[in-house]
Amino acid sequence: MSTDAIVLLKDEHQQIRKTFRAFEKAGERAHATKGRLVDKMIELLTIHTYIENEVMYPRVRELLPEVEDDVLESYEEHHVADVLVMELSTMKPEDERFTAKTTVLIENVEHHMEEEEKEWFPQVRAGLGRNQLQDLGRQLIQAREKAPRRPSQPGALKKTVKAVLD
């Protein structure tokens, strides 16, 4: 398994996209299936935004000041995802706005991942050496082990409350 930070994050993006596609293919009345898929999305996104916010973004911002605007935009995109994830975590699949809110989450996260993969990751790869990316990857793996799985857990809750209040 590669420890390259960009490879690791792209792998997570693929897992997230797979869950999104399954949700979009679920039938209109497939409430139980949609509920399970949203629970999986919540877990994947809570972990993913946590490790990016705690490890990737601060380190890249420090090493590559020229991508600071991209990092700040990414923090804001995570803020939107965190708020939607928190709201979805309190909803039932049968709720009137559950599917609509999930669709908005999917659209926002898809946009974010596409920007990262097409614009930001190439800049980061060009600006950092292989050793730095592997070191970052090891840090991401370590952070993943202690990352919250639900928005109500302490690490995520702090981040989400900050996102809501900022």
Q: What is the pLDDT of residues 73-107, one digit of tens each?
A: 998 998 899 999 999 999 999 999 999 999 999 99
Closest to 148 (Cα-Cα) out of 49, 16, 35: 49
Distance CA 125, CA 119 (A): 11
Q: What is the pLDDT of residues 12-54, one digit of tens each?
A: 999 999 999 999 999 888 999 999 999 999 999 999 999 999 9
Amino acid code (one letter) for 162: K
- The pLDDT confidence band at residue 161, using thresholds 50, 70 and 90, is very low
Say if residue 163's pLDDT is above 80: no
pLDDT, position 44 = 97
